[in-house]
Structure 1
């Protein structure tokens, strides 16, 4: 069945279209430090964090340059980590292979980052690349990326699990003051084979590390977890954002900076069992993170992490609560039947726009329209 998705994306809304949790500084403790939920009320380091892309010459005197990108992660108290990529950002030009790690410190009005061969100075809007002897070799501009499925409308026949109002599809859902779904609920029904769209926003916890940094997840059928975590700028391993928890790492780490709205589009086909309860085929899953395919119809042999055992019983899908103010919106699901099992283009972008899986902006204050469909 063909259908069209209409999308109005307000880029400032990706960062702050819905008012954030109240208060903006949600909680703090001695171990993990402050927890920010509103991008307009953050520490000074947040201004420097983010994604940058531009060019760099191998030597300042070289006549040619190559595309490069940088992800800057705030670690609290003026400390920063960075990942530099040749070709572009992950999922949008990066050649793959090595990511070059840098460390940095806020010095006055700029962040100075040091790598093995180059140093980088960042003022929050652009990043200048210098050789070790101080000659400029490149320049990168801060950029904002928006998932092409952000705000995607549910197609005909979809089950709208959450659209800003409490529904009968979640058990005892808790909402923020501005109508966002909080983690810690599950669907009232179980689903066998389905396609799920969901949008989430991770808090900014600059001093937290690892699994304490904005942890949640989509626990499909209470068995298979697609991890939600602030893994921005990291390698993207089996317990980080986009991973099938402790089972398979994403093909790309597509995690965007915290306090940025992100999307998952998930296509799940349940395992099959014979009449005696013996499994005859494994679960298969595809996951698009911010519009980029990070798990391509992969076969999973068992539950992930602490999931429930596999079986024919249709269990609910959970929005996992790990005591972090991760919030959700625009969650809907399409049950698959035999006819739609082979339909592979349900998140395909309109061919009239460039075939770039994620959209760039020079400013978080741009509005535009998009349409999605087969």
Structure 2
């Protein structure tokens, strides 16, 4: 009888300890709730095109204070500002931001003239360089072009990462209508010896439609030859291209950036 009672007592104690331990180890909703750090409050714009409260305004229709000549950095940008719109001025070259940026979110609106002429690449050819690496077309280019019923090489149409990534779809509106790029740019990083550590990446929404889905760039874009990360660099300006073709100059408006 003593052994039976002793065994029952041990069994009860074991069962009690098991249930206590099990209850103590049971997951609680509080285990996965995080309260700090608290995200900063950012006030959205009234529309998706309007700049949020933490954005840096690069062009609001008034002036080019945030821009400089690419060819002669420090010289004021000499494009045309009229009626709240920025238009390429032929013969003045590319312009780029005074400030340099690492990773960012960029909003920019552009318009091909309704009276555009030409075909293929000679039809409103321009570009947004997501990081400018100096004079000319050095850097990482997101192509701008009239690709509405205009045949060209597909890795050079609007929405392409020039000669690297074809856009997922053709989201172009007809010439004369405003078009929008919303871009997430992740800047490349480099090892001490100059080799690339992490490549640049880009996500692009074209008129609200995803056309580049976090693609990893092979290096700065090239007109001729294969891209590669041959130049180590840090934050860089954002550049707008004044292409040398004979078609009518394109226009821009409502440009803002959020540093990430």
Structure 1 length-normalised TM: 0.48
1:253 counterpart = 2:170: yes
Structure 2: distance between partners of 1:5 and 1:301: 34
Deviation at 1:252, TM superposition (A): 0.5
Rg: which structure is higher?
2
CA distance in 1, matches of 2:222, 2:193: 26
Q: Secondary structure at the match of 1:330?
A: strand
- 3-state secondary structure, aligned to 2:257: strand
Following the alignment from structure 1 to structure 2, what is the Cα–Cα distance between the partners of residues 211 and 234?
9
1:158 is displaced (CA, Å) by: 1.0
Superposition deviation, residue 153 in structure 1: 1.6
1:1-374 aligned at under 5 Å gives the runs: 1=40, 2-7=42-47, 149=48, 152-171=49-68, 172-173=76-77, 174-183=79-88, 184-205=94-115, 207-222=117-132, 223-234=139-150, 237-306=154-223, 310-323=231-244, 324-336=248-260
Question: Does 1 or 2 have the higher relative contact order (CA < 8 Å, sep 6+)?
Answer: 2
Q: Which runs of 5+ in 1 are unaligned?
A: 8-148, 337-374
Matched position secondary structure for 1:164: coil
Mapped to 2, the partners of 1:193 and 1:256 lie a distance apart of 28
The separation in 2 between residues aligned to 1:293 and 1:253, in whole angstroms, is 10
Instruction: Give deviations 1:190-249, integer Å, cap 9, x for gaps.
Output: 111011000011113554111111111101112111111100035681011111111111
1:314 CA drift (Å): 2.6
3-state SS of paired residue (1:314): coil
Q: Which moved more, 1:236-245 or 1:302-311?
A: 302-311
**Aligned-residue offset at 1:278:** 2.0
In 2, distance between residues paired with 1:245 and 1:6? 33
Looking at structure 2, the residues matched to 209 and 234 of structure 1 have their Cα atoms a distance apart, in angstroms, of 6
Is 2:105–2:185's contact at 8 Å kept on the other side of the alignment? yes
| Deviations 1:119-163, CA, capped at 9 Å, x for gaps | xxxxxxxxxxxxxxxxxxxxxxxxxxxxxx4xx121122110000
How big is the alpha-carbon RMSD for the aligned residues of Structure 1 and Structure 2? 2.1
How far did 1:282 drift? Answer: 0.8
Task: Structure 2 unaligned segments of length 5 or more: list them.
Answer: 1-39, 69-75, 89-93, 133-138
Range moving further from structure 2, 307-316 or 199-208: 307-316
Quick check: 2:44–2:51 contact (8 Å CA) kept in 1?
A: no
Going from structure 1 to structure 2, the CA distance change for 1:279 and 1:229 (only over 3 Å counts) comes to same
SS at match of 2:121: helix
Q: Is the strand fraction higher in 1 or 2?
A: 1
Tell me which stretches of 4 or more aligned residues in structure 1 moved more than 4 Å.
306-310
Deviation at 1:5, TM superposition (A): 2.5
User: Structure 1's 279 and 206: CA in aligned 2 closer, same or farther, altered over 3 A?
Assistant: closer
Per-residue CA deviation, residues 245-265 of structure 1 (Å, 9 max, x unaligned), is 111110001111001001000
Change (3 A) 1:162 1:292: same
Question: How many positions carry a matched residue from both structures?
Answer: 193
Distance in 1 (alpha carbons) for counterparts of 2:185 and 2:254: 19
> What TM-score do the two structures reach when normalised by structure 2?
0.69
